[in-house]
Structure 1
Amino acid sequence: MERQENEKKLEISGGETKREEANLVHDSSVDYKGRVPIRAATGVWKASLFIITIEFSERLSYFGIATNLITYLTQVLHQDVKTAAKNVNYWVGVTTLVPIIGGFLADAYTGRYNMVIFASLVYLMGLSLLTMSQYIPSLKPCNTEICQHPRKLHEVLLFVALYFISVGTGGHKPCLQSFGADQFDDDHLEERKNKMSFFNWWNFALCCGLFLGVTVIVYIQDSVSWGVAALVLTVTLAVTIVTFYMGRYCYRYRVAQGSPLKPMLQVLVAAIRKRNLPNPENPDLLFEVPRSEKSSQGRLLLHTKRLRFLDKAAILEENEYPSGGQKHSPWRLATLTRVEELKLILNMIPIWFTSLPNTVCLAQAPTFFVKQAATMNRNVTNNFKIPPASIYSLGAISMLISVTVYDKIVVPILRKATGNERGMNILHRIGLGMLLAVVAMFVAALVEQKRLDYADPKAMSVFWLAPQYIILGIGDAFSLVGLQEYFYDQVPDSMRSLGVALYLSVIGVGSFMSSSLITILDHVTKKDGRSWFGKDLSSSRLDNFFWLLAALNVLNICVYGYLAWGYTYKNVERRVVPGDSSVTNGNDQSMA
């Protein structure tokens, strides 16, 4: 009788323990007091909404400036089209490359939340300088209404303000998105599915900011003043920074774990030292630490068959077998998880390179597409004319609709049809977006040919540009969202800010490539007597440039398709979460 009572007590105690485990989040994150987070009180949508709010504000500012910057440079600073386009591309390039530094520092030292706060304040300082350059008399372009010779001081302050924004973006963008995704537990089925939706709704908020930036903000710039627009952006960002700070009690935080590059170098050194050893036929013989010792470092990775040379770093030699708790030198023996983390990064390099030509196409939307719009008939009514940069809103609208339809209709259908949690593999989604970018370049070339045929381009409606913007917007819903998810999900867990920075670097390098391509083609085509990039669009041949981009991207898609076909995705050991019906172990390839 006593034995039965004891067994019953143990059963009750075990049930209570399981319930307690289900109520806590054991994914190596902590709450604002450094404790294990309570699932019901932290994370998921209630936390991510605070984070999405500040993303909306930042994108409102960025696109409100970026899409109309070429207009400011040509009309206020009187730069020619080629110089202005290159300056815009350089700024966009720096803005999307600096996040590599910010992402690395956040993952290694500061943590994501602290970096977002610091970077947001730097961003706010840049917007404040931009506002000052429009209101302080000695800093304004000039004191007259019509400004033929703008002050050099104003030009210097303008670019100082812009590059302050670049530095702010460098800490803001890679950390904010990864911090938002950190609010969902990968080992909990429902939270894992919600994380997949998070990337779609993140881009929904991004597109809302983009849409208002290229419509409301651009309209204020063109019809009221650049100063009022800058002031609106400054105040909006200040309000959302406060909002973001107010949500700190419900966030889940990841503790910085030191430089992620050193362990990878250790794997490479260990593999070289053991290069003469044969690989074991059974990967279970490779060295790995127990789960109990690894819990604070994130999830364990299972073995993959790619890059088998690196497996040698995890081979246990006779003198390395555990004895008396003795520590192994990481320069001689690496864990299987560390080996697989290095494989992940090396596997990403070809995908990163083959993503670049696609972003060269995207770089045309805020530069040459906007200048095309400026030469065309933009009248909607006798009293209202669309600002050139506002035509960009068509891409934002198409992306908004595409993201919503994809998340709410297409993904559920594909999940039932394929059994894939994501609906379709990440790389397939990116590839579809690349194809649509090629179609957009074909359409852009045809429209530009038609525009050049008009004796007066003003007779041609600006809505002829709608198809290329809409197709590019739909393509972004697949390629850009897919790249965000790919670089966040497929990097090691300790490098997720850096992973988002790698995604941004694709856009940045694509912008630099666009500028370099313009310079090279300008030099080459001048020899034939007519450069593709003249002082204005009437003396240019942008249609040839668009045809070339379409052809280069077709070739690139062939290479990308070959890489995607045999790609090996992240292979994660799934942890058991009480109350979760997902599998405990499995290859992420089925869901990626």
Structure 2
Amino acid sequence: MDSSVAPIMIENGDHQHITTHPQKPSKKGGWNSAVFIIFVEVAERFAFYGLAGNLITYLTNVLHEPTATAAKNVSTWMGVSAIFPIFGAFIADSYLGRFKTILLASVTYFMGMVLLSLAVSVIPLEYRKAAFFTALYILAVGEGGHRPCVQTFAADQFDENNPQEREAKSSFFNWWYLGIVAAASTAILVDNVGWAAGFGVLAGALAVSLTMFLVGIKRYKKESPMGSPFSTVVQVLVAAVRKWRVSETRCGHGIYYGDEKGESYKVQKFDRTNQLRFIDKAMIIDDIDYSSKMRNTWRLCSLNQVEEVKLVVRLIPIWLGCLMFSAILVQLHTFYTKQGSTMIRSIGPNFQIPPASLQSLVGLMILVIVPVYDRIFVPLARKFTGCPSGITMLQRIGIGLFLSIINMGVAGLIEGKRIKTASEHGLMDSPKAIVPMSVWWLIPQYLISATSDVFTVVGLQELFYDQMPEAMRSMGAAAYISIIGVGSFLNSALISIVQAITAKNGDIWLGDNLNRAHLDRFYYLLAILSAVNFCVYLWIANGFVYKKVLEDHEIIKEENFDGNWNREMKMVNDV
């Protein structure tokens, strides 16, 4: 419930209804404060993608790592960067709050980027590799505190109880992603100015964004940390296990609905759902609870606590169902770039497109797709579906997953064409030679990747924000980010498995010589795995139940019996 609305208890016989009295709206929040937070995220994404987009080139060309090793190192670093947000989210939700966590993480990230700039310039060559990787993982730590909090903190600036701001929040996720993509597309071009200068530019952008973030400090709506988000989950699961033999019609004295002292009125109140009924046992009042002088939180939990845990559990299969998507997403920063480096990249007589700069095609396409999606597709779809966002979040994710299958199929066909061209011109044993085939052949796979991103990535961002309990929204953002991380590890594992199997046959798919390798077969393998994954996702999504938040007039509390602790519950008699 919004802080500008004060709850009032109105008694009517045995029932107590919660109503509200509007207060003066706060001047904080909304787009006026969210825009300052967006600056921080844009700068951080500018730095991250400027590094990620050129990392494989630096590792292979400067540090002289084999292609497969460099690809695994990139995937591992991106994976760690996407796993650390789980710890950052825990710290934000439990101890520091989102604002302080963002501030601390931004300083850490800036320090890492400064060290990275020094590692590629003034640090002696014998220590350069160690310093470079140290800086990379300092950035991963900063990423861990930054990513799960910034988007959530920005979305928190919009009031969910205000219909206009609720609609603005849905649009916010589209424009937020647009800003990130614009920053990423620009950052990929940094290798044109040299490694030291390029990383120096990224560090400067972080310094400016941190200043902008502090300028808006008086405009932000800040939520205090609500304690460990895991304690509620564990309490509910423990209580459910302890009462596994109890049912509402046997040994039960009703359902515990909670009380205003134990559960803040600012927390959303949920309707009861029929899924995961075993967890419901945690809120059944048995003989021990009934006779106890104090409520044991490890034996009896409220309906709201139970439904919050159900929200978390329901998202786990969705999380698993999107891992293959992120494994495909990593190809954009690894093998796509290596493909492009072997092809004709000339524009005019004196200019060649840097291999990593091809990733900007994805950004440019997204810059077109997002406004069209938000301003044209959503209003049209809304007329047919009645859904405020045009299509549901799960439908949006599913479309992106399907496109990722097409993406790998197209990439395999184009790579097959590139290998055939190299063979026709006698270049199979000349890995550094330029294959007489234009780099523009890669445009289809980049454009399909962009369209897939707009659907799946933004859909996941919104789903894991919207469907998580309020106290765990930083964890929700971390969970979405960790999909990318675990997917990166999955990609590294697939590379290792493919190398091990194909090496036994003497026909290595992912060798340093791409002309002799069979990257096209690797792409086809990813397409097959993604198709299987997509079928599983459809089955999961078909059974998914979105949360239902009770309106104020639907919340009823009854005093069922006298006791020494505040028992506000509703007796349930199903028979």
Aligned pair 1:404/2:371, yes or no?
yes
Distance 1:547 1:262, change over 3 A: same
In structure 1, the residue matched to 2:100 is: 114
Distance 1:476 1:22, change over 3 A: closer
Which structure: greater helix fraction? 1
Aligned pairs for 1:115-154 within 5 A: 115-136=101-122, 139-140=123-124, 151-154=125-128
SS of structure 1 residue aligned to 2:468: coil
SS of structure 2 residue aligned to 1:414: helix
SS of structure 1 residue aligned to 2:389: coil
In structure 2, the residue matched to 1:24 is: 4
CA distance in 1, matches of 2:102, 2:410: 39
In structure 1, the residue matched to 2:359 is: 392
Give the conservation status (yes or no) of the 8 Å contact 1:433–1:476.
yes
CA distance in 1, matches of 2:481, 2:149: 11
Aligned pair 1:503/2:480, yes or no?
yes
* Cα shift at 1:260: 1.1
* Cα shift at 1:487: 1.2
* Cα shift at 1:279: 3.5
In structure 2, the residue matched to 1:336 is: 303
CA distance in 2, matches of 1:26, 1:513: 49
Give the conservation status (yes or no) of the 8 Å contact 2:3–2:266.
no
CA distance in 1, matches of 2:484, 2:2: 40
CA distance in 2, matches of 1:113, 1:74: 39
Give the conservation status (yes or no) of the 8 Å contact 1:219–1:390.
no
In structure 1, the residue matched to 2:521 is: 544
Give the TM-score normalised by the residue count of structure 1: 0.86
Which residue type is aligned with residue 196 of structure 1?
A: S
SS of structure 2 residue aligned to 1:277: coil
Which moved further from structure 2: 408-417 or 314-323? 314-323
Q: Deviations over 1:155-190 (max 9, x none)?
A: 000001111111000000001011011111111111
In structure 1, the residue matched to 2:210 is: 241
Q: Deviations over 1:419-468 (max 9, x none)?
A: 11121111110000001111110110000000001135531111111110
CA distance in 1, matches of 2:350, 2:173: 40
1:161 to 135, 151, 164: 135
Distance 1:39 1:545, change over 3 A: farther
Which moved further from structure 2: 226-235 or 294-303? 294-303
Q: Deviations over 1:272-329 (max 9, x none)?
A: 2222222369x99521124576335511111110011111111123564599xx6411
In structure 2, the residue matched to 1:308 is: 277
Give the conservation status (yes or no) of the 8 Å contact 2:270–2:548.
yes
Distance 1:317 1:561, change over 3 A: same
Distance 1:192 1:321, change over 3 A: farther
CA distance in 1, matches of 2:132, 2:518: 31
In structure 2, the residue matched to 1:562 is: 539
2:81 to 92, 95, 118: 95
Distance 1:358 1:22, change over 3 A: closer
Which residue type is aligned with residue 221 of structure 2?
A: R
In structure 2, the residue matched to 1:218 is: 191
Distance 1:575 1:464, change over 3 A: farther
Aligned pairs for 1:179-328 within 5 A: 179-215=153-189, 217-220=190-193, 225-279=194-248, 285-290=254-259, 294-295=263-264, 298-317=267-286, 320=289, 327-328=294-295
Aligned pairs for 1:40-51 within 5 A: 40-51=26-37
Which residue type is aligned with residue 456 of structure 2?
A: S
CA distance in 2, matches of 1:527, 1:89: 24
SS of structure 2 residue aligned to 1:420: coil
Sequence identity percentage: 42
Give the conservation status (yes or no) of the 8 Å contact 1:360–1:513.
yes
In structure 2, the residue matched to 1:418 is: 385
1:512 to 480, 489, 498: 489
* Cα shift at 1:530: 1.4
Which moved further from structure 2: 343-352 or 101-110? 343-352
CA distance in 1, matches of 2:365, 2:551: 37
CA distance in 2, matches of 1:271, 1:46: 44
Q: Deviations over 1:357-393 (max 9, x none)?
A: 1111111000000000111100011111110001001
Give the conservation status (yes or no) of the 8 Å contact 1:451–1:460.
yes
Aligned pair 1:358/2:331, yes or no?
no
Give the conservation status (yes or no) of the 8 Å contact 1:402–1:477.
yes
* Cα shift at 1:75: 0.6
In structure 2, the residue matched to 1:373 is: 340
Give the conservation status (yes or no) of the 8 Å contact 1:77–1:155.
yes
Give the conservation status (yes or no) of the 8 Å contact 1:37–1:252.
no
Give the conservation status (yes or no) of the 8 Å contact 1:294–1:300.
no
Give the conservation status (yes or no) of the 8 Å contact 1:23–1:38.
no
Give the conservation status (yes or no) of the 8 Å contact 2:253–2:287.
no
Superposition CA RMSD, Å: 2.2
CA distance in 2, matches of 1:277, 1:284: 10
Which residue type is aligned with residue 562 of structure 1?
A: W
Which moved further from structure 2: 41-50 or 313-322? 313-322
CA distance in 2, matches of 1:328, 1:467: 61
* Cα shift at 1:71: 0.4
CA distance in 1, matches of 2:2, 2:469: 25
* Cα shift at 1:416: 1.9
In structure 1, the residue matched to 2:569 is: none
Distance 1:332 1:40, change over 3 A: closer
Which residue type is aligned with residue 192 of structure 2?
A: Y
CA distance in 1, matches of 2:535, 2:3: 48
CA distance in 2, matches of 1:382, 1:310: 68
Aligned pair 1:524/2:501, yes or no?
yes
2:411 to 435, 444, 449: 444
Aligned pairs for 1:404-483 within 5 A: 404-454=371-421, 455=425, 456=427, 457-483=434-460
Which residue type is aligned with residue 436 of structure 2?
A: A
Give the TM-score normalised by the residue count of structure 2: 0.88
CA distance in 1, matches of 2:261, 2:170: 28
Unaligned runs of 5+ in 2: 8-21, 428-433, 554-575
* Cα shift at 1:23: 9.3
SS of structure 1 residue aligned to 2:347: strand
SS of structure 2 residue aligned to 1:499: helix
Distance 1:515 1:319, change over 3 A: closer
Count of residue pairs brought into register by the alignment: 529
Unaligned runs of 5+ in 1: 1-20, 28-35, 141-150, 577-592
Q: Deviations over 1:52-106 (max 9, x none)?
A: 1111101111111101100001111111101111111111010111101001110
Which residue type is aligned with residue 466 of structure 2?
A: D
Q: Deviations over 1:2-34 (max 9, x none)?
A: xxxxxxxxxxxxxxxxxxx9992679xxxxxxx
CA distance in 2, matches of 1:423, 1:398: 21
Give the conservation status (yes or no) of the 8 Å contact 2:247–2:284.
no
CA distance in 2, matches of 1:157, 1:26: 54
